Amino acid sequence: MDTLVPKDHLLRKIEKVMDYDWLYERLEGYYCHTNGRPGTDPVVLIKMVLLQHLFGIPSLRQTYREVQVNLAYRWFLGYGLLDEIPHFATVSYAFCKRFPEELTDEIFQHILNKALNNGDDDSENGSGGTTEKTVSTTDPDCGMFVKGEHERQFAYEAHTACNKRGFVLGVQVTAGNIHDSVAWDELYTTITRRFNDIRYAVMDSAYKTPWIAKRTIDDGIVPILPYTRYKGAKGSYRPWEYAYLPEKDAYLCPQGAELRHTTTDKDGKRVYRSTPKNCRDCPYKAKCGANEKGQKLLTRHIWQFYLDAVECIRKTEDAKCIYAMRQQTIERVFADAKEKHAMRYTHHRGLTAVTRWVKLKFAAMNLKKLAVWSWKDSFLLLLSLFPIRVFHKTRHPPCLAAF
C-alpha cells in the first residue's frame, strides 16, 4: 500500500508534521478497555474528519464513500485494501456524543501551535446590534444575512483573523445578522491575549468604528482600515468643511455661523446646534441641511479623535503597503475555504455544531499549509547539500493580524 501513494502526496506531508499521541491521552477516559467490544481507533475518526475538510468533501457520508475507493485515504487512515472502513455514522456520533465539546478547539490550537513553532511566530497586523427579527424555523441559532438589495438568506458568519502567512489565528462564529463590529471584541481579546507581539491590525471597513479605533490604539496596536465613502446627500456640505474650535468646544460652518455643543446622546455622540436666527435667512440653508426652523445639527463622537488618527494612518505609504497584503492573506483564506474546502454552505444546524465544523475546517487548512511548507523546507535543505546556488527569500514586512 505504501508504494502506491506518491512520495509528494499531501497526506504524506501531513503525516510528517502531525502527531497524534496527545489525542490518545486526551481521549483515554472516554473509552473502556475492560468491558465490551473494542471501539474504533479515535485517531482514525478524527483523521476521517480531517480528510473531509482537507479535500473539501461536502459530507461525512461522501467522505466514507471516497475512503472506500481511494488508496491514499486508506493509507492515511492506516487501513489495507480489504479492511472495513468505519461507518460515517460512527464518526458523527463520536463528535456529537462521545468526544468532549472542547476537542475541536484543542485540535485547532494544537495545529496552530505547530505552525507558529515551525518558524511562523511573527503574527503582526492582527469583526451593531441585531435588528433583523425574522427567525428560521429549522435553525433558530442562525440569522438573516442581508447583503445589498437582493441577497437575503439565513446564514452564519465566521469572523476570522489570520497572520501575514495566512495561518488562521482565531475564529468567532455568530448568526448572520450580527454585525462584524459586535463580534470583533471577543475575537480581538482572544488573539491579543495569546499573541502579545502584534503591531498592526488590518481590518475591512465594517470594523471602522470609534470603539475599535480607540481600543487598538490604546493597546499600542496600529489599526489599518480602508477609505470609506461619505454617504451624505450629494451637493451638501461635508462634515470636514466645518471648522472645530477647541477653546469653545464649538464648530464654525463654512458661512461663519457657530454651532454650540448642547448635549451628548447615549451613543456617545456630542450634538452641536446652530442658532436659528443666524441661519433662518441664510441662502445656503439647503446646502447645509438645516431644518425648517433654520437650525443646523452636527454630531461628533466623543472618540472622533481616534477615527481621525486612523485616517492619518491610512494615508501613509507603509499602511497602503500593508493593507494591500489583505488580498494575499485573509481574502485568500476566505477564497480557499469556500472554493477548495466546501465552506460556502453547511449541512449542520445550531451554533455549537457550526462552530465545531468551522474550527475543524480552519484546522485542516492550517495543517495543509504547514505540511506543504515543511515539505518545501526539507526539499530546500536537501538542495543545500549540493553545490547549487540557492537565493534567499525576500524579507517579509512586520508581523500583522488581518480581520
Residue 148 φ/ψ region, left for φ over 0, alpha for ψ in the -120 to 50 degree band, beta for the rest? left
In the DSSP assignment, the letter for residue 232 is: S
CATH 3.30.420 intervals, the chain = 119-228+308-360
Band the pLDDT of 297: cuts 50, 70, 90.
confident
Assess whether pLDDT exceeds 80 at residue 213.
yes
pLDDT for position 123: 40
Please state, in angstroms and rounded to a whole number, the distance separating the CA atoms of residues 18 and 294. Answer: 71
Please state, in angstroms and rounded to a whole number, the distance separating the CA atoms of residues 274 and 263. Answer: 13
Q: Is 159 helix (H, G, I), strand (E, B) or coil?
A: strand
Assess whether pLDDT exceeds 50 at residue 132.
no
- Per-residue pLDDT of 342-399, as tens digits, reads 888 888 888 888 999 999 999 999 999 999 888 776 544 444 444 444 433 434 444 5
Closest CA to 76 of 53, 113, 50, 106: 50
Please state, in angstroms and rounded to a whole number, the distance separating the CA atoms of residues 357 and 291. Answer: 53
Assess whether pLDDT exceeds 60 at residue 190.
yes
pLDDT for position 383: 43
Which residue has 540557492 as its cell numbers?
A: 390
Single pTM value for the model: 0.72
Please state, in angstroms and rounded to a whole number, the distance separating the CA atoms of residues 256 and 284. Answer: 12
In DSSP terms, 340 is beta-bridged to: none
pLDDT for position 306: 93
- Per-residue pLDDT of 62-114, as tens digits, reads 999 999 999 999 999 998 888 899 999 998 888 888 888 899 999 998 898 88
- The answer to whether the CB of 221 falls within 8 A of the CB of 311 is no
- Per-residue pLDDT of 6-15, as tens digits, reads 888 999 899 9
- Per-residue pLDDT of 15-53, as tens digits, reads 988 888 888 888 888 887 777 777 788 999 999 999 999
Domain 119-228+308-360 falls under CATH 3.30.420? yes
Assess whether pLDDT exceeds 90 at residue 154.
no
- The answer to whether the CB of 369 falls within 8 A of the CB of 166 is yes
CB-based burial label for 337 (10 Å; 0-12, 13-18, 19+): buried
Closest CA to 60 of 95, 99, 26, 29: 95
pLDDT for position 202: 92
pLDDT for position 391: 39
